[in-house]
Structure 1
Amino acid sequence: MSEIHDLTAREQWERLQQRQLSPLEIVDHYLSRIERLDDGLGAFVTVTPDAARERARRLGDAGPRPDPLWGLPFADKDLTMRAGVPAKFGSRLMADFVPDTSDELPQALDAAGGISLGKTNTPEFGMPSYTESLVAPPARTPWNPALGAGGSSGGAAVAVAAGLLPFAPGSDGGGSIRIPAAATGLVGVKPSRGLVPSGSGIGSLGGLPVAGPLARTVGDAAMLLDAMIGDEPFPFTLRAPRWEGGALSNAAIRGEGRYQLAVMTTSPWDDAYDITVSSEASAALDHGIAELDALGHGIEAIALEPWPDYAPHFRVLWQAGAAGIPAEGAALELLEPLTRWLVERGRELPARRLVEALAGLAQFERSVIRQFAPYDAIVTPALAMTPRPLGWYDSADGEKNFAQQVQYTPFTSFVNVSGLPAVTLPVHQTDDGLPMGIQLIGRPGGEATLLAIGAQLERRIGWQRRHPPQW
């Protein structure tokens, strides 16, 4: 008989509905695994067993409900606030902060019937694309703990990959869901800007960060995404359609359709940095293309039109986004060197330069959507390299650090700038067993198409049956 963590989230939910499992049984199972296995992995920064068990008892006593996450565990990324639970934001600056109110996303997941087990690890204020802070152990990919899990949703990815959670919410402002999903062998979904009401991106600088799911299967990712969207009307959709409840899960379950795809290995960083796609990343892309071709999809190659201003404009947004971190005077000394460099550079930026960057990236967004319009999805490598060794990034030299992040993840940030949906899929493994993936980028509001293609690949490749050694 399969253990609970071997079941998909959907299978766990069905057993809950049939009373074959109770919420408390599932919560106890995952809390036990966290206690036994998380030491050294860096998945969690805070575990809340008492609150989780109490909520599980209340849900169990009330009996099964058809709520989309009823009785299922998750954990909040430690960039979101949950009332009464420490919110460290990966920083010494926030070491003693305990909010008395919850952000919208935890509230939405609670309303869907989920049970939070605590907070997952994240780098300082989510700024880097790797999870190695001074306030928590580094997030390590369970496939090889000497390597980092990426970021900034690194802890969430580790928890799901190691079977400490069935799925987890993350946030993605430049690749922060897709990068760790690719580094840990998971499915990661970055939704269209505006799709998830509690993590829309619309109120943030440049509209970059959105909330989305990490899961072992396409169906589980769609299930969590449906719950994050919810059923409440919301005032903005931009180019994202208003999906009815369960629509994305249905698309992932059916996995139907033949689509016109384009393969792309260029990026908007190519003019500014030395971008090299490793042999391992190329092998994953080749494998994914071969499987997509075998499924009958139309495939052709394209190249992104050069856009030399992309790199300097995005750097401005990255630095300006750090300017609002609540550190003044002596408190700046509590920030890590990279974060402090970002804060100082961001506060030095003239308003005119920020306006120029925002206007330039808005033009870039229109250009990308125009170039991608003839295709149902664009296929790229998920990452340009294998997961990076712990300590690989230079923590003191901001310029070098930025270049390293770009070289590892050249295919992610421009999707946030464009507001488009994307999904990373773990289609391949290296000779030594490391997961390597591809990224599918969709049309505005094209999540259902991406999930359908992902489901087709999952059925063909069977990555959901892979598990990291020892976990």
Structure 2
Amino acid sequence: MTPDRSPGLAESARALAAGEVTSRTLVERTLARIEAGRGPLLNAFRVVRAEAALAEADAADRELAAGGRRPLLGVPVAVKDDTDVAGEPTAFGCAGDFPPVAEDGEAVRRLRAAGAVIVGKTNTCELGQWPFTEGRAFGDTRNPWHPGHTPGGSSGGSAAAVAAGLVPAALGSDGAGSVRIPAAWTRLIGIKPQRGRISTWPRPDPFQGITVNGTLARTVADAALLLDAASGSHARDVHRPPALTVADAVGRDPGRLRVALSLKPPFTAVPARLHPQIRARITELAGQLAALGHEVAEDDPPYGQIGLAFVPRATAGIAELVAEAPDPALLDARTRGAARLGRLLGGAPLRA
């Protein structure tokens, strides 16, 4: 772990509002941590916005000095490289010469409206397909707890950056575990919210409704704070849930919960069993929940053949993104194969 870890999101916002630190100082320290973690040591970032971030920090300091107050005013954060940041390319883990985009995505626009300073874009595997973060475009992203291991994926760069203390929190995205897997593998809080809670615009319904934006942080309170700051809809989003403030639920006593302990892997066309170590840890967690007073019962959801619904949507989404790539020949062979499958399944089978 990085000895010089960033303070948490809420603590950074508090210290800035109290005048105990400047945004420039926080951003300079963040950029120094990112630089120290470049290359094979951690490799969390695809794009670092050093000059732009410092300019944004100076603007935040002027606003703070004038008495301005916003939830994340002057706080440095990162976003996954599937999210548009004006003036930067969105490569989504792919090799090739991607042009800079003209406008912020809606989630980034809302983070800026909350006062956040976007320090960079984090690494992800090609088009978010795999539960690890590596690729020919950028190399391997490392797990800060175990550098010989992956931080998971596909939001592994965001998870590595937060877990290593480079930034206090980061945005990720999740269709089949891409926030939750890295959170579990790097000891973070990862939230996959409902569709539309955080806008995915300019993609109104990515991967045919599978993928949503979510948050990664070191505490529940910080994950909720970032979720609230990024939440909200674009006028053309497909999914537009009513507004709510999730931070209001932090620290609230949930009462006695009914918890289902499921030991059945969902994404299997043939019978499969959990690895004994994983089974043991899940069972241990169930025991801890029961000891806290919750009702825990072993029960498997009726998954059915979930792959019949998931695979057409996922591969059709990949096909759409591959069609936009500046040089598809640079993509992994598995990506090109998934795109071919998506073109086959993306018509009548998907509509069915």
TM-score normalised by the chain length of structure 2? 0.90
**Matched AA of 2:345:** L
Mapped contact 2:151–2:185 kept (Cα < 8 A): yes
Aligned position for 1:149: 151
Residue 197 of structure 1: SS of its match in structure 2?
coil
Residue 276 of structure 1: SS of its match in structure 2?
coil
Residue 288 of structure 1: SS of its match in structure 2?
helix
Structure 1 position 69, deviation (Å): 1.5
- Tell me: CA distance 1:205–1:326, structure 2 relative to 1, closer, same or farther (3 Å): closer
Aligned position for 1:320: 316
Structure 1 position 178, deviation (Å): 0.7
Residues 1:160 and 2:156 aligned together: no
Q: How does 1:39-188 map to 2 (within 5 A)?
A: 39-40=39-40, 41-63=42-64, 65-93=68-96, 95-188=97-190
Residue 253 of structure 1: SS of its match in structure 2?
coil
| Relative contact order higher in (CA < 8 Å, ≥ 6 apart) | 1
Structure 1 spans left out of the alignment, 5+ residues: 357-471
Aligned position for 2:211: 209
Counterpart of 2:264 (choices 254, 259, 266) is 266
Residue 313 of structure 2: SS of its match in structure 1?
helix
- Tell me: CA distance 1:273–1:16, structure 2 relative to 1, closer, same or farther (3 Å): farther
Counterpart of 1:344 (choices 336, 340, 343) is 340
How far apart are the structure 2 equivalents of 1:345 and 1:323?
A: 8
Mapped contact 2:123–2:156 kept (Cα < 8 A): yes
> Which range moves more in the overlay, 131-140 or 347-356?
347-356
Mapped contact 1:322–1:342 kept (Cα < 8 A): yes
How far apart are the structure 1 equivalents of 2:196 and 2:321?
A: 24
Residue 33 of structure 1: SS of its match in structure 2?
helix
Aligned position for 1:221: 223
- Tell me: CA distance 1:156–1:289, structure 2 relative to 1, closer, same or farther (3 Å): same
> Which range moves more in the overlay, 198-207 or 314-323?
198-207
Mapped contact 1:130–1:154 kept (Cα < 8 A): yes
**Matched AA of 2:17:** Q
**Matched AA of 1:169:** L
How far apart are the structure 1 equivalents of 2:123 and 2:5?
A: 20
How far apart are the structure 2 equivalents of 1:193 and 1:329?
A: 26
Query: Percent of aligned positions with the same letter in both sequences?
Result: 35
What RMSD over aligned residues (CA atoms) do the two structures have, in Å?
2.6
How far apart are the structure 2 equivalents of 1:72 and 1:315?
A: 39
Mapped contact 2:190–2:223 kept (Cα < 8 A): yes
> Which range moves more in the overlay, 83-92 or 42-51?
83-92
Structure 2 spans left out of the alignment, 5+ residues: none
Mapped contact 2:6–2:167 kept (Cα < 8 A): no
Residue 92 of structure 1: SS of its match in structure 2?
coil
How far apart are the structure 2 equivalents of 1:275 and 1:218?
A: 33
Q: How does 1:282-431 map to 2 (within 5 A)?
A: 282-305=279-302, 307-308=304-305, 310-327=306-323, 331-349=327-345, 351-356=347-352
